[in-house]
């Protein structure tokens, strides 16, 4: 689904007035942030580890062709197959072809953002019984909604809404009593256990792909990925080409970064390493292993200034600390990747002309960059997208006129100071105590109060006075 500017604004307004959503976001807001902060306090070398993570990703991206070839060779030697998908359509067709060849009837899926990116669920559900095994993904599958967070897909749902969903789909009734979280988890576990045992195909993502050994690395807190990949006859892993790392040594560093940044854990409850299809001496595992590596715009990014966005390990820390995401949730962004990462990735993958409003849905406060485990300069990349929108004439004519006017004025300090001196009393007059009537800023001021200008002059005037006091 392409993202239109008007659609984003409409979705954002709807999100702000949705009481259930606001309640769910308020409950989730502090959890990720506080847990991450505590986990980092327990690891004094965390900043050095961030730098190590940046170096690992930059090195891998600089030699991606070499590591892709090495990975494919090792997967093949271990009895698996590697498939390359140029875009979302070829990824879907590749996976559907594997499922058809296996005469599959039922598919069980572990969580995969790459699968969401290529629209995999819709394609699978048209031909096969397809069930999500991650609890959050299972909830939003029942609700027929996309995920609103990359690590907590159903964070926008309240307990009452989940109770109603389970009543409707599991018991064919509505209006039952509100159930506690452990009861809901047990209920979902009971339903999903039967699906694990009956699935022909298991599909997963990949947190990291190890070139040295051909290993797929998965991290979960529910153990569902283990069941989804070991019980079915065929395992299909789908991942972006940027998920590669050179060796198990690098995986160790990246896992320490991922868990702390995503959920504030030292390490996730389940860390799974899958190398090849089942061998004769193995007790379980798939008879066939397929790895589908998707490009979908990634190699294009390798050659431009947005290359560093390919470092992203999908931890969600940027959106957890983003005031805009915290106010409107993930669905307002209109595609798979919300928050600051989505403000960059969506224009990269879907085109800036259809998502120009996303880079502007940012206060440029810099928190996303300060918490990114691989040091992606998200505010810089967002500013560059704003520049491109302006240069490509995507930005609206009024905005372009306003920016040009501001640039002309900012290059003339004397005139700028005179005008700001005139604006100060004007703002006090229009504000009339609340500053909600500032001309041309009604959309911004309708929901917030600005501090009114003081009666002590402009900043420059006060600065000159202070300097004069210090000299005397």
Q: Would you list the domain boundaries of the chain?
A: 43-298, 412-471
| Three-class SS state of 294 | strand
pLDDT tens, the chain, 472 aa long: 444 445 898 999 999 999 999 998 988 877 899 999 999 999 999 999 999 999 999 999 999 999 999 999 999 999 999 999 999 999 999 999 999 999 999 999 999 999 999 999 999 999 999 999 999 999 999 999 999 999 999 999 999 999 999 999 998 777 778 899 999 999 999 999 999 999 999 999 999 999 999 999 999 999 999 999 999 999 999 999 999 999 999 999 999 999 999 999 999 999 999 999 999 998 889 999 999 999 999 999 999 999 999 999 999 999 999 999 999 999 999 999 999 999 999 999 999 988 989 999 999 999 999 999 999 999 999 999 999 988 887 777 777 788 888 889 889 988 888 887 777 777 666 655 555 555 666 666 666 666 667 667 777 778 888 887 665 5
Q: What is each CA distance from 90 to 1, 86, 93, 301, 418, in whole angstroms?
A: 17, 6, 5, 19, 60
Residues 6+ apart with CB under 8 A from 273: 215, 216, 217
CATH topology of domain 43-298: Rossmann fold (3.40.50)
Do 374 and 257 contact (CB within 8 A), yes or no?
yes
What is this structure's pTM?
Answer: 0.87
Report the distance separating Cα 343 and Cα 179, nearest Å. Answer: 37
Do 149 and 319 contact (CB within 8 A), yes or no?
yes
């Amino acid at each position: 689904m392409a993202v239109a500017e008007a659609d984003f604004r409409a979705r954002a307004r709807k999100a702000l007035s949705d009481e259930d959503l606001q309640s769910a976001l308020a409950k989730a807001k502090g959890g990720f942030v506080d847990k991450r902060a505590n986990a980092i306090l327990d690891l004094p070398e965390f900043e050095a580890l961030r730098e190590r993570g940046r170096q690992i990703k930059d090195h891998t991206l600089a030699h991606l062709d070499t590591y892709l070839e090495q990975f494919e060779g090792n997967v093949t030697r271990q009895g698996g197959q590697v498939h390359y998908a140029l875009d979302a359509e070829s990824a879907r067709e590749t996976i559907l072809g594997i499922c058809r060849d296996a005469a599959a009837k039922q598919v069980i899926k572990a969580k995969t953002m790459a699968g969401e990116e290529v629209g995999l669920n819709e394609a699978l559900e048209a031909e096969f019984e397809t069930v999500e095994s991650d609890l959050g993904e299972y909830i939003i599958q029942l609700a027929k909604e996309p995920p609103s967070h990359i690590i907590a897909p159903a964070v926008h749902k309240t307990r009452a809404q989940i109770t109603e969903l389970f009543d409707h789909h599991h018991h064919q009734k509505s209006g039952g009593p509100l159930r506690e979280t452990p009861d809901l988890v047990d209920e979902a576990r009971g339903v999903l256990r039967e699906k694990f045992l009956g699935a022909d195909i298991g599909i997963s993502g990949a947190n990291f792909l190890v070139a040295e050994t051909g290993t797929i690395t998965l991290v979960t807190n529910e153990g569902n990925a283990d069941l989804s990949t070991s019980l079915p006859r065929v395992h299909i892993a789908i991942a972006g080409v940027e998920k590669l790392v050179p060796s198990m040594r690098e995986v160790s560093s990246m896992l320490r970064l991922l868990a702390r940044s995503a959920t504030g854990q030292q390490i996730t409850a389940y860390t799974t390493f899958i190398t090849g299809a089942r061998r004769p001496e193995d007790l379980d595992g798939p008879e066939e292993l397929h790895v589908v590596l998707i490009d979908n715009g990634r190699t294009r990014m390798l050659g431009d200034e947005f290359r560093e966005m390919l470092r992203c390990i999908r931890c969600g820390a940027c959106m957890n600390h983003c005031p805009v995401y915290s106010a409107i949730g993930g669905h307002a962004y209109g595609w798979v990747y919300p928050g600051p990462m989505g403000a960059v990735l969506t224009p990269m993958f879907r085109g800036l002309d259809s998502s120009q409003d996303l880079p502007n849905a940012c206060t440029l406060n810099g928190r996303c960059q300060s918490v990114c485990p691989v040091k992606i300069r998200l505010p810089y990349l967002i500013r560059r997208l704003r520049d491109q929108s302006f240069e490509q004439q995507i930005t609206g004519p009024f905005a372009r006129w306003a920016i040009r006017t501001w640039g002309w004025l900012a290059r003339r300090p004397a005139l700028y100071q005179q005008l700001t001196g005139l604006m100060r009393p004007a703002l006090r007059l229009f504000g009339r105590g609340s500053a909600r009537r500032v001309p041309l800023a009604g959309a911004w001021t309708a929901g917030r109060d600005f501090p009114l200008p003081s009666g002590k002059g402009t900043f420059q005037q006060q600065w000159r006075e202070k300097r004069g006091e210090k000299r005397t």
